[in-house]
Amino acid sequence: MRALMMLGRVTHRGICTTQRRALRNKVPKLQTLFQKDNDVPVHLKGGPKDVLLYGTTMSISALGVGWVFYAIYQLL
């Protein structure tokens, strides 16, 4: 019984913390980045990671379309 009471205290302490973590507000910085008029599409304004993600997505999509056409060709 005593072990169950201690378990309740331990789990409560793990959930309820007295110290709050401070989070930085990144929204104003990102708003200025994405609202700049620099002739770059919005899906590429995030930098090199966005370019890599976009290129990878387009490559996988192109391979998938090619695979579909190949499968249709095999059926004919």
29 or 8, which is more confident? 29
Measured between alpha carbons, how far is 44 from 54 in angstroms, rounded to an integer? 8
Could you give phi then psi for residue 36, rounded to 5 degrees?
-65, 140
* pLDDT over 90 at 74, yes or no: yes
Indicate the domain borders of the chain.
Answer: 40-76
Q: Output the pTM of the full model.
A: 0.59
Q: What is the DSSP string of 15-58?
A: H--SSPPP----HHHHHHHHH--SS--GGGTT-HHHHHHHHHHH
* pLDDT surpassing 80 at residue 13: no
Q: Is 23 helix (H, G, I), strand (E, B) or coil?
A: coil
| HSE-up (13 A, CA, CB side) for residue 32 | 3
Confidence tier at 22 by pLDDT (50, 70, 90):
confident
